[in-house]
Structure 1
Amino acid sequence: MKRKNLVNGMVLAFSVVFIRFIDVKVYDMNLIVTLLLLVALIMGLMKLVDRIPALEEPVGKRAALVTNVLVVMTIFLAFFVLEL
């Protein structure tokens, strides 16, 4: 697995939590606007990740597993703590 794949997973998690936080706590957006903002944020960040050559290196299975577990736990905690 490449580092880029792990970073793309983090981008997805960050984007969902960030847009949901804005939708719930800052400004109540329409569903279509929320989805469009989410797609735009994900696409922009993934294009940015594609431009970083250092992320093409492979990562070990243990590091990938730990990173994925931390991302899932962060999503859960963010939704629980921030009451999203």
Structure 2
Amino acid sequence: MKKKNLVNGMILAFSVVLIRFIDVRVYDMNLLVTLLLTAGLIFVLMKVVDRIPSLDEPVSKRTAAITNTIVVLTIFLAFFVLGL
């Protein structure tokens, strides 16, 4: 697995939590607007990540598993703590 794949997973988690937080706490958005903002943010951030050559290096399975576990736990904690 490459570092780029791990970063893309973090981008997905960050985007969903950020847009949901804005939707719930800041401004109540229409569902279609929320989906378009989320997709747009994910698209832009993934294009930025594709331009970083150092993220093409491989990562060990252990590091990938730990990182993925932390990302999933962070999503659950963010939704629980922030009440999203």
> Same fold by TM-score, threshold 0.5 exceeded?
yes
- Amino acid across the alignment from 1:57: E
Matched, 1:40 2:55: no
Q: Separation in 1 of the partners of 2:19 and 2:2?
A: 26
Q: Separation in 1 of the partners of 2:68 and 2:26?
A: 28
Q: CA deviation at 1:36?
A: 0.5
Q: CA deviation at 1:42?
A: 0.2
TM-score when scaled to structure 2?
A: 0.99
Matched, 1:13 2:13: yes
RMSD of the TM alignment (CA)? Answer: 0.2
Match for residue 63 of structure 1? 63
Q: Separation in 2 of the partners of 1:33 and 1:65?
A: 33
Match for residue 72 of structure 1? 72
TM-score when scaled to structure 1?
A: 0.99
Q: Separation in 1 of the partners of 2:76 and 2:39?
A: 21
Gaps of 5+ in 1: none
Match for residue 82 of structure 1? 82
Percent identity reads 75
CA displacement, residues 13-61 of structure 1 (integer Å, 9 cap, x when unaligned) = 0000000000000000000000000000000000000000000000000
Structure 1 stretches of 4+ with a deviation exceeding 4 A read none
